Amino acid sequence: MTLPHLTDAESFRAFRTAPSRWLPIARDIARSHGLDAGAPHVFATGTNLVVGLGEKLILKIFPPLLRAQFVSERGSLTQLAGRLHLPIPEIVAEGMRNGWPYLIITRLAGTLGSEVWPHLPEDQKERLLRQIGETIAAVQRAPLGPLATIEPRWDEFMRRQMQGCRARHERLGLAPKFLAGLDDLLRDAAGLIPKDAPPVILIGEYIPENFLLACDDGQWSLAGLFDFGDVLAGWRDYDLLGPSAFMAAGRPGRVKSLLEGFGYAKLDFALKRRLMALMLLHRASDLNSHICIEGWQDQANDLVELQELIWAG
């Protein structure tokens, strides 16, 4: 039983969506570590091959073309182990099969955030966003360790994102009224976004799909954080973008809770401008799909009005 040599992302996606081709290999990997592989659960979403081994373990297999995600995941879980108040997966075993690296990690308890978040009352959303801000700050207090050498380096990443920013957002269909202010914003960004400040661990995706929640006496709290495949080392504000776009929805109370939890007491024009620039420069940036404010395209006439809408308060 061997994993194939795949040369491009499209071939891998086709392979991933056909578990009959790779699940026997995943079960063989599990058995090679003395683990029960009798009733594996295939996770249909996600980037890599992910299989639940019973209730307590998960096997993640990374294709060679996504080896950087393996390096990021392993390095992050190792570096953050024991440093957070919030549970994260623990590495149980690791290895390589036909050039495909894999990790066997513990499975966290809780309910996926994306299942709970839309139905929560406003006060609990604010409570959770404060906890998310606190969690981001806690992750960023951890020393970088080997993650200091992870690629791309922040200055190179920012330079590349700035160079491709206009073409990206034209391709994604951002309205001309917002594209019109893009050059001015990028000029401001060069001074607003530090290139050589001490870098911190950036997860890149603090979004409901990567959180687990638990309920105690009617109060929902963060219960786990997972998926560390896209970690960067860079400027701290970058990790505020996921919860700002997907969760805060321009509500002043939510925005205030997130930023105060993170450690920002003041929301001024410079911070909003920097966050707007970073949102457009994020590696997954797609404003039309990611800003969860109903009708936002009609509520703002330019990028300055848009930043005031997203980070209201």
What number of H helices and E strands is found in the chain?
A: 14, 10
**Token representation of residue 9:** 């992302």
DSSP 92-145: EEEEEETTEEEEEEEPPPSEEHHHHGGGS-HHHHHHHHHHHHHHHHHHHHS--G
Task: Check whether residue 226 and residue 117 sit in a common domain.
Answer: yes
294 found inside a domain: yes
Domain count, the chain: 2
98 domain-assigned? yes
Domain hosting residue 59, numbered range: 9-106
**146 shares its domain with 62:** no
Residue 193: exposed, middle, or buried by beta-carbon count in 10 A (0-12, 13-18, 19+)? buried
The answer to whether position 3 is within a domain reads no
Which of 106, 128, 147 is the last residue in one of the domains?
A: 106
Same domain, 215 and 278: yes
Q: Do residues 256 and 264 lie in contact, with contact meaning Cβ atoms separated by under 8 Å?
A: no
> Which CATH number belongs to the domain containing residue 84 in this structure?
3.30.200.20
Contact partners, residue 84, CB within 8 Å, separation at least 6? 135, 138, 139, 142, 225
Task: Compute and round to an integer the Cα radius of gyration of the chain.
Answer: 20
- Of 121, 129, 313, 106, nearest to 207 (Cα)? 129
Residue at a domain's end among 47, 82, 106? 106
Is there a single domain that holds both residue 256 and residue 270? yes
C-alpha torsion angle, residues 174, 175, 180, 181 (rounded to 10): -60
Give the per-residue pLDDT at 150: 93
Q: Are residues 98 and 215 in the same domain?
A: no
Q: Is 273 part of any domain?
A: yes
Take residue 180 and report the two structure tokens written for it: 């019109």
Tell me, what's the pLDDT at 209?
92
Task: Please check whether residue 119 lies inside any domain of the structure.
Answer: yes
Same-domain status, 182 and 280? yes
Is residue 244 within 8 A of residue 274, CB to CB? The reply is: no
Residue 4: inside a domain: no
Residue ending a domain, choose from 106, 126, 142: 106
The answer to whether residue 236 sits within a structural domain is yes
Q: How many CB atoms lie within 10 A of CB 35?
A: 18
Q: Are 300 and 306 in contact (CB under 8 A)?
A: yes
Q: Is 197 helix (H, G, I), strand (E, B) or coil?
A: coil
> Same domain, yes or no, for 76 and 206?
no
Give yes or no: residues 29 and 128 share one domain.
no
What is the domain-level CATH number for residue 251? 3.90.1200.10
Tens place of pLDDT per residue across the chain (313 aa): 799 999 899 999 999 999 999 999 999 999 999 999 888 999 988 899 999 999 999 999 999 999 999 999 999 999 999 999 999 999 999 999 999 999 999 999 999 999 999 999 999 999 999 999 999 999 999 999 999 999 999 999 999 999 999 999 999 999 999 999 999 999 999 899 998 889 999 999 899 999 999 999 999 999 999 999 999 999 999 999 999 999 999 999 999 999 999 999 999 999 999 999 999 999 999 999 999 999 999 999 999 999 999 999 8
Specify whether 45 is located in the same domain as 141: no
231 close to 201: Cβ distance less than 8 angstroms: yes
Could you tell me if 34 and 160 lie in one domain? no
Q: Do 190 and 41 reside in the same domain of the chain? A: no
pLDDT at 57: 97
Same domain, 82 and 144: no
1 domain residue, yes or no: no
Which pTM does this prediction carry?
0.94
Other CB atoms within 10 A of residue 222 CB = 20
Q: Work out the angle at residue 307's Cα, subtended by the Cα atoms of residues 212 and 227, and round it to the nearest 5 degrees.
A: 25
